[in-house]
Amino acid sequence: MSAAPIIEVQRLSKTVTDAGGERLTILHEVDFAVAAGQTLAIVGASGSGKSTLLSLIAGLDTPSGGTVRWAGTDIFTLDEDARAALRGQRVGFVFQSFQLLANLTALENVMLPLELAGRRDARVVARRMLERVGLGQRLGHYPKLLSGGEQQRVALARAFVVEPDILLADEPTGSLDHATGARVMELMFELNREHGTTLVLVTHDAAIAARCQRRLAIEAGRARELDGSA
């Protein structure tokens, strides 16, 4: 008997009401599943609902219909605190805007999720991860003293340091130049292979999407798997 998918999205819908009182459907009954260790790119035009879908997969937003399961657990049957606790255990995030805390050093930013998890070895583990991403000489630097590429590498270190089952990335190279973005993505895929993480990323970059085993296109709020996906 095969194991349940690590992520199951079932009949997931999101409808909002605009300022004029008109109801807008952002996502309509989206269905797909992702096996443990797979890489999936979510692609589509700007405003198609890609980031909304990622936010729902993360449990950061609530759907109008349908649900999301992580390893069989329906995350929307949990209250916000329980969902946040489970997210802290299983999910890592990488954002376009890095989302580093400005008043914490690179080392302290990477230590934070470990400290929240009660890890007593947070400093040692965070230092090791920053060295892995090539920032061993930047441990005491604050984000404003780091380049965009360095900040995103700190964000990668923070995401992977807790060894999450699932990594969600929203346009992780969107604010970087092409060369820096390419280096960051190479590092992300390397870390993903090393840790066996399930990677779901939103991207508008066809080259990045092509590196994933599967590609899911969002068009007018509906999802379809693209030909050529593994």
The mean per-residue pLDDT over the stretch 83-95 comes to 90
Tell me the C-alpha distance between 125 and 228, whole Å. Answer: 39
Tell me the C-alpha distance between 24 and 117, whole Å. Answer: 39
CATH number of the domain encompassing residue 194: 3.40.50.300
Mean per-residue pLDDT over the chain, rounded: 92
- Using DSSP, state whether 128 is helix, strand or coil: helix
Dihedral sign computed on CA atoms, order 173, 179, 180, 185: positive
- pLDDT at 175 (0 to 100): 84
> How big is the chain, counted in residues?
230
- pLDDT at 36 (0 to 100): 93
Number of domains in the chain: 1
Share of the chain above pLDDT 90, in %: 73
Indicate whether 230 belongs to any domain.
Answer: no
Range of the domain at 112: 7-225
Structure tokens at 98: 């890095």
Indicate whether 1 belongs to any domain.
Answer: no
- pLDDT at 229 (0 to 100): 54
- pLDDT at 46 (0 to 100): 85
pTM of the model: 0.89
Beta bridge partners of 99: none
Indicate whether 2 belongs to any domain.
Answer: no
Structure tokens at 79: 């209250």
Encode pLDDT of 25-72 as tens digits.
Answer: 999 999 999 999 999 999 998 888 999 999 999 999 999 999 999 999
Indicate whether 13 belongs to any domain.
Answer: yes
pLDDT over threshold 80, residue 230 = no
Indicate whether 28 belongs to any domain.
Answer: yes
Indicate whether 82 belongs to any domain.
Answer: yes
pLDDT over threshold 50, residue 1 = no
Question: For the purposes of burial, counting CB atoms within 10 Å of the CB of 18, is it exposed (0-12), middle (13-18) or buried (19 or more)?
Answer: exposed
Beta bridge partners of 14: 27
The mean per-residue pLDDT over the stretch 211-229 comes to 88
The mean per-residue pLDDT over the stretch 91-118 comes to 93
